[in-house]
């Protein structure tokens, strides 16, 4: 059975403002549903698969928001930023109103794949240390990479805040000063500290995939896109 919701509730659920404001948007002729101008905020609609147009901007209905974002350098993954603007400043207002949160964080100078969601259970499943989900980082190093360093990363590195070593699950040299490294944990500054511990230094860091989801080739820096059920299934299957 289709779940019917009033248009006002649908707009509210998508982050377009208070219910009163959403209702006013409809009365002001600023909302279309699948291209048809809406007249009644109390009209009951099956929201699955609809496209709203609000103040001229198309918006797919998603009951929960699952977002892939290509993080540029010099943005912080925080609402309360210290030195740089927030990644949230690059997202549209409805996503902010829905309180999407970063699924784990990238450092201010790290670029690449960041997931965001307003689904607390999803965020928990993806970030809990009990679930090992591989994250691939492309690392540009300050010094040439040696085989000894790769062996050390694969064999386990002890960081100063925890006697338990952390391991690279995969570590492949892709250039004189470039590695692709997969890690399953998410400790603070983990990649940078692992590289420092083996006697090298991270000059640039880019996350290219999380589990079996890789950064889409056409997702430019600063851009975001919805994740769809097939991609979410892939992500769920990546959790060991």
- DSSP letters for 69-89: EEEPSS-BSSSS-SSS-BGGG
Q: Hey, which residues does 19 pair with through a beta bridge?
A: none
Contacting residue, 65, 67, 106, 215, with ligand URA by CB under 6 A: 106
**Site for ligand URA, residues 165 to 204, rule: CB under 6 A:** 189-192
Distances (CA, A) of 226 to 9, 59, 64, 65: 21, 11, 10, 7
Establish how many alpha carbons lie within 13 A of residue 190's alpha carbon, considering only the half-sphere containing its beta carbon.
22
Task: Identify whether 151 is a catalytic site residue.
Answer: no
Coil/strand/helix, residue 68:
strand
Can residue 119 be called a binding residue for ligand URA (CB under 6 A)? Answer: no
**Packed helices 147-155 and 190-197: angle between N→C axes, nearest 10 degrees:** 120
Instruction: Name the catalytic one among 24, 107, 109, 119.
Output: 107
**Closest CB 44 distance from ligand URA, rounded Å:** 45
| 205 interacts with ligand URA by CB under 6 A | yes
- Candidates 46-54, 87-95, 103-111, 157-165: pick the segment binding ligand URA (CB under 6 A): 103-111
Least distance from C-beta 87 to ligand URA, angstroms? 12
**Residue 107 is a binding residue for ligand URA (CB under 6 A):** yes
- 127 in contact with ligand URA (CB under 6 A): no
Residues involved in catalysis: 107
């Amino acid at each position: 059975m289709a779940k019917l919701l009033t248009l006002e509730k649908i707009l509210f659920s998508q982050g377009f403002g208070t219910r009163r404001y959403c209702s006013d948007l409809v009365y002001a002729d600023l909302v279309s549903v699948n291209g048809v101008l809406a007249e009644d905020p109390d009209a009951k609609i099956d929201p699955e698969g609809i496209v709203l147009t609000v103040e001229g901007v198309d918006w797919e209905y998603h009951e929960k928001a699952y977002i892939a974002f290509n993080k540029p350098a010099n943005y912080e993954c925080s609402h309360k930023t210290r030195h740089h603007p927030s990644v949230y400043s690059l997202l549209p207002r409805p996503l902010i109103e829905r309180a999407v949160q970063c699924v784990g964080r990238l450092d201010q100078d790290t670029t690449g794949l960041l997931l965001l969601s307003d689904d607390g259970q999803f965020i928990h499943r993806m970030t809990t240390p009990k679930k090992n989900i591989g994250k691939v980082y492309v690392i540009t190093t300050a010094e040439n990479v040696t085989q000894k360093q790769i062996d050390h990363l694969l064999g386990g590195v002890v960081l100063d805040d925890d006697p338990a070593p952390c391991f690279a699950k995969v570590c492949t040299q892709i250039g004189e000063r470039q590695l692709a490294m997969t890690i399953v944990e998410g400790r603070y500054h983990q990649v940078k500290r692992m590289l420092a511990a083996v006697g090298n230094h991270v000059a640039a860091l880019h996350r290219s995939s999380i589990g079996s989801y890789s950064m889409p080739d056409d997702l430019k820096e600063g851009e975001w896109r919805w994740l769809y059920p097939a991609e979410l299934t892939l992500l769920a299957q990546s959790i060991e």
